[in-house]
Amino acid sequence: MVDALDARIVKLYTLEPRTSILEASRQLGVARATLVSRLDKLQATGAIRSWAPSLQPMNFGYPVLAFCFLTIEQDKGHGAVVDALVDIPEIIDVHTVSGESDMLVKVAARSNSDLQRVLDAISATKVVVRSSTMLALDTHFEARTLPLFEASAE
């Protein structure tokens, strides 16, 4: 469970990720030890997964974003597909899903023809039977978890 202080801490570090512990404790009006203890707890529980930078592929040469729905070899299992896809750097996210497809994959590419190369690499894994791809025309927001985290503290 998270509380209002946890939500304030996460909001501060989401909006200003380079804030020092001293400055954050000052802004939040809490002792440094309290802040460090809360941050440690949030990391230990997995609420905060990473302090890594948030990368934007379109800003370093990958402006094409696509979502691929994969049908997989059922006797191979999802683990074999994940093991095969992890070596393709253009694959950003992989999810097992319900419905007509087995997996949903988010892919970044340099161009439409580069996307075709990535799709060919996915097919070459021999664990994907069929794929269906949709291009993202615009992204309005993504990885939007702060409002959800704040709501969980209520």
pLDDT digits (tens, 9 = 90+) for 2-35: 999 999 999 999 999 999 999 999 999 999 999 9
Q: What is the pLDDT of residues 70-112, one digit of tens each?
A: 999 999 889 999 999 999 999 999 999 999 999 999 999 999 9
pLDDT tens digits along 42-68: 999 999 999 988 899 999 999 999 999
Kindly tell me if the per-residue pLDDT of 143 is higher than 90.
no
The alpha carbon of 41 is separated from its chain's Cα centroid by a whole number of angstroms, namely 21
H/E run at residue 106: strand 103-109
pTM of the model: 0.84
Q: What is the pLDDT of residue 122?
A: 97
CA 2 – CA 125 distance, rounded (Å): 42
Query: How far, in Å, CA of 55 to CA of 42, rounded?
Result: 22
Percent above pLDDT 70 for the chain? 100
Where do the domains of the chain lie, and which CATH numbers do they carry? 4-53 (1.10.10.10), 57-135 (3.30.70.920)
The two beta strands, 103-109 and 91-96, are: antiparallel
